[in-house]
Amino acid sequence: MLAGASLVVGGLARRSGSGRVMALLGLLPLVEGAFDVCVLGPLFGLPIQGEAIRRKAGRIGEDSLLPHPPLFPSDRPLLLH
């Protein structure tokens, strides 16, 4: 949705014919995100509905948009130099 909104705003800000085309193209990912669909899914052998795609990928249920709670210091992975 963020990419679609960026294309729409950027396209409208250009105030030209190519900007209008870019804004119209930006509506596709914006609408796809809003309605949880992926019209390009069938090109990759996947369904159109977002829930069905997540189920097929093994991610049943909704993913949280919020960040995960912080890890305790003992749970954090160590970075080796």
Average of per-residue pLDDT values in the chain: 81
Has residue 65 got a pLDDT over 90?
no
How many domains does the chain divide into? 1
Has residue 58 got a pLDDT over 90?
no
pLDDT at 66: 55
List the domain range (segments joined by +) for residue 15. Answer: 2-56
Has residue 23 got a pLDDT over 60?
yes
Burial class (CB in 10 A: 0-12, 13-18, 19+), 27: middle
Judge whether 71 lies within some domain.
Answer: no
DSSP letters, 10-48, are HHHHHTSHHHHHHHHHHHHHHHHHHHTB-TTGGGGT--S
CA distance 45 to 51: 15
pLDDT tens per residue across span 34-54: 898 999 999 989 899 988 888
Judge whether 10 lies within some domain.
Answer: yes
- Band of the pLDDT at 69, cuts 50, 70, 90? low
Token pair belonging to 7: 């294309």
Judge whether 47 lies within some domain.
Answer: yes
